[in-house]
Amino acid sequence: MAAASSIQPPTVHSSLTRESALSPEMDSPESRQPEDEEAAAAQPSDQGISLRDLPDLEPEEIERRLAKTRQELSNRRKILIKNLPPDTTNQ
């Protein structure tokens, strides 16, 4: 049992401990800078959630955007299925 007490954990270099100590602070919302005013408006504030005011869309515009999204998803699905191994079914 005396041999077990002589094993010591590996030491961490002091520069690494400083970096790890800074990383939670660097990832805090206070340290992040919004890229533009629009991104700042989309982020929640301390008082509550602030949402951007978006214009109401016409039914034709909604349908056009939905059709475009459906087509993009269909194309992505085709690419994924094409890249599957041959022994995999697409169902």
Tell whether 66 is covered by a domain: yes
Give pLDDT, residue 60.
96
Give pLDDT, residue 78.
93
Tell whether 73 is covered by a domain: yes
Range of the domain at 70: 58-84
Give pLDDT, residue 64.
97
Question: How many domains is the chain built from?
Answer: 1
Give the Cα separation of 90 and 80 in Å (integer): 9
Tell whether 16 is covered by a domain: no
Give pLDDT, residue 87.
79
More confident residue, 10 or 18: 10
Sign of the C-alpha dihedral, residues 47, 52, 53, 58?
negative
Tell whether 52 is covered by a domain: no
Q: Note the pTM of the prediction, 2 decimals.
A: 0.37
Q: Taking the C-alpha atoms of 72, 75, 81 and 84 in order, what is their torsion angle to the nearest 10 degrees?
A: -90
Tell whether 35 is covered by a domain: no
Tell whether 67 is covered by a domain: yes
Residues 34-67: pLDDT tens digits? 555 555 555 555 566 767 888 898 999 999 999 9
pLDDT value at 24 more than 70: no
Tell whether 71 is covered by a domain: yes
Tell whether 68 is covered by a domain: yes
pLDDT value at 1 more than 90: no
Give pLDDT, residue 66.
97
